[in-house]
């Protein structure tokens, strides 16, 4: 039996050996392949204390914004150079297919380069004050130690949209990787070290919620929390932040609608729908999991989708020809199976999928699944699967499409497919979601902010203004008069 690969925490510039470890499972085989470090409250305290010290003492506190930018740019180069190696780890630890992890991690480098360029472009202001002989300037200063918490899916990307603006602003960060599939982020720590960031500026660890997550989000030296994950965990984090009053942003789940009108290019729309729900095995916050198709084209469009779903090549995620891999955890499979079964019992029609693929007896594999129902109160329309399940229904009017699109507690992403430009503008104005893609889906850029409405979270990530969320404004008043301040108790 081969020895399991081991990973370490990265705290205060040192790869540290933990007192406890836990096994990580390869989702394609259901076999343990690595031992991960398990952080406790003492590890968290060491990391946060190191980050606080780095912000107030040592070289990071004295660096210019331009120097910070150079380090970020170097980190971006290292990510690009090592994308293939990290992609293999991510695929091994999460089951995400190699063709997607390679492409995504390679593009993550652009986020570090983008914020590297912004590091010395974020400026203060001079206020034209209404009082004579007083100059007032506004100085943006680093908000403090940042607790960044990311899930296992797209973890290099979701880390970059937190880590890059935080470092550009001059903060120090404690980054908690998910206990599910943390290998790529623990390996990423080597690139941080190689880039030359001073000790304590970036700390990376992993562990479980009660021992690690709670200690991090309640720590008195944490001033900022940036979280991506599910609403249930987010509620705990919000409650925890009452202990330190840390400024908190949340990027949560979604039940994103994709609206297809009868005038759309159906082949193009079908490709986008397939990519939106079956890419990454549906394990994406922005997955287009609700399909609303105009009744006139519903039957041929659903047949087209079913044919494309059945043609998806499912198998070993390390092979470049594989188009869909396993889910990341057994509990995700169980959740999906329960919700699909409950929806079918309540009247949903299973057009395709709904079971384990043939020939794959091991691994957390599920077939691409399409459910249809006129009743949108079923669990498949209400609950986030975080798996490859598309729930489809029909509409007759634009008003009905808007109403059904907005009939959810979530509001992260959405898609609209139409060749009617006026309708496209009307729909983008009326859909309650942080992202509206028109005649495309899943497009991202470091220049464009993203975030949700409702239960999809608070705040925005990426884009030029995201640096502001990692600063606080200091108002500086300077008296320019040589005249002494008069005695306030002498009446004149």
Q: Which residue in 8, 90, 100, 251 is the catalytic one? A: 251
User: Helix, strand, coil % (nearest 5) of the chain?
Assistant: 40, 20, 40
SS3 (DSSP) at 199: coil
57 is catalytic: no
Please tell me the distance from the alpha carbon of residue 272 to that of residue 43, in angstroms, as a whole number. Answer: 44
- How remote is the C-alpha of 380 from its chain's centroid? 23
Please tell me the distance from the alpha carbon of residue 221 to that of residue 48, in angstroms, as a whole number. Answer: 7
The β-bridge relationship of strands 349-352 and 290-294 is unpaired
**7, 183 contact by CB (below 8 A):** yes
**176, 205 contact by CB (below 8 A):** yes
- How remote is the C-alpha of 10 from its chain's centroid? 21
Torsion over CA: 301, 303, 305, 307 (sign): negative
Q: Quick one: which of 201, 221, 213 has its CA closest to 151?
A: 213
CB atoms within 10 A of CB 63: 18
Cα-only R_g, the chain: 25
Q: 253 - beta bridge partners?
A: none
Buried b / exposed e over 89-103, threshold 16 CB at 10 Å, is bbbbbbbbbbbbbbe
**254, 410 contact by CB (below 8 A):** yes
Please tell me the distance from the alpha carbon of residue 59 to that of residue 239, in angstroms, as a whole number. Answer: 34
Q: Which residues are catalytic?
A: 251
């Amino acid at each position: 039996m081969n020895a399991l690969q081991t990973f370490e925490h990265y705290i205060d510039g040192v790869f540290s050996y933990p007192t406890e470890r836990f096994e990580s499972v390869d989702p394609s085989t259901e076999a343990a392949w690595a031992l991960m470090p398990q952080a406790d409250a003492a590890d968290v305290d060491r990391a946060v204390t190191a980050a606080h010290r780095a912000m107030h003492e040592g070289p990071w506190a004295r660096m210019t914004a331009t120097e910070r930018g150079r380090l970020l740019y170097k980190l971006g180069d290292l990510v690009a150079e090592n994308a293939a190696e990290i992609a293999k780890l991510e695929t091994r630890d999460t089951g995400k297919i190699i063709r997607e992890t390679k492409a995504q991690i390679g593009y993550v480098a652009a986020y570090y380069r983008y914020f590297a360029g912004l590091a010395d472009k974020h400026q203060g202001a001079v206020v034209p004050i209404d009082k004579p002989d007083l100059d007032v300037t506004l100085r943006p200063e680093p908000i403090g130690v940042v607790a960044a918490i990311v899930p296992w899916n797209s973890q290099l990307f979701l880390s970059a949209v937190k880590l890059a603006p935080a470092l550009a602003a001059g903060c120090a960060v404690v980054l908690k990787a998910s206990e599910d599939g943390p290998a790529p982020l623990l390996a990423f720590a080597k690139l941080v070290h190689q880039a030359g960031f001073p000790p304590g500026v970036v700390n990376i660890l992993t562990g479980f919620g009660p021992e690690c997550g709670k200690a991090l989000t309640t720590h008195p030296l944490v001033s900022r929390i940036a979280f991506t994950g599910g609403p249930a965990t987010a509620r705990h984090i919000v409650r925890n932040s009452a202990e330190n009053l840390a400024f908190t942003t949340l990027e949560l789940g979604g039940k994103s609608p994709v609206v297809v009108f009868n005038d759309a290019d159906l082949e193009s729309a079908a490709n986008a729908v397939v990519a939106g729900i079956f890419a990454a095995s549906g394990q994406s916050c922005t997955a287009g999991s609700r399909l609303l198709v105009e009744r006139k084209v519903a039957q041929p469009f659903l047949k087209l989708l079913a044919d494309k779903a059945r043609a998806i090549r499912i198998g070993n995620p390390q092979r470049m020809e594989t188009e869909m891999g396993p889910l990341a955890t057994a509990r995700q499979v169980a959740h999906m199976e329960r919700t699909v079964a409950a929806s079918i019992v309540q009247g949903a029609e299973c057009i395709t999928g709904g079971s384990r693929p043939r020939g794959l007896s091991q691994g957390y594999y599920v077939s691409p699944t399409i459910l249809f129902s006129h009743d949108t109160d079923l669990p498949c329309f209400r609950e986030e699967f975080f798996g490859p399940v598309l729930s489809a229904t029909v509409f007759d009017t634009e008003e009905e499409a808007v109403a059904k699109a907005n009939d959810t507690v979530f509001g992260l992403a959405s898609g609209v497919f139409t060749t009617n430009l006026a309708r496209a503008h009307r729909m983008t104005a009326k859909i309650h979601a942080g992202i509206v893609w028109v005649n495309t889906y899943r497009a991202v850029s470091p220049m464009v902010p993203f975030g949700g409405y409702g239960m999809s979270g608070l705040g925005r990530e990426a884009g030029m203004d995201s640096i502001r969320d990692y600063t606080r404004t200091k108002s500086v008043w300077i008296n320019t008069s040589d005249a002494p301040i008069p005695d306030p108790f002498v009446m004149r």
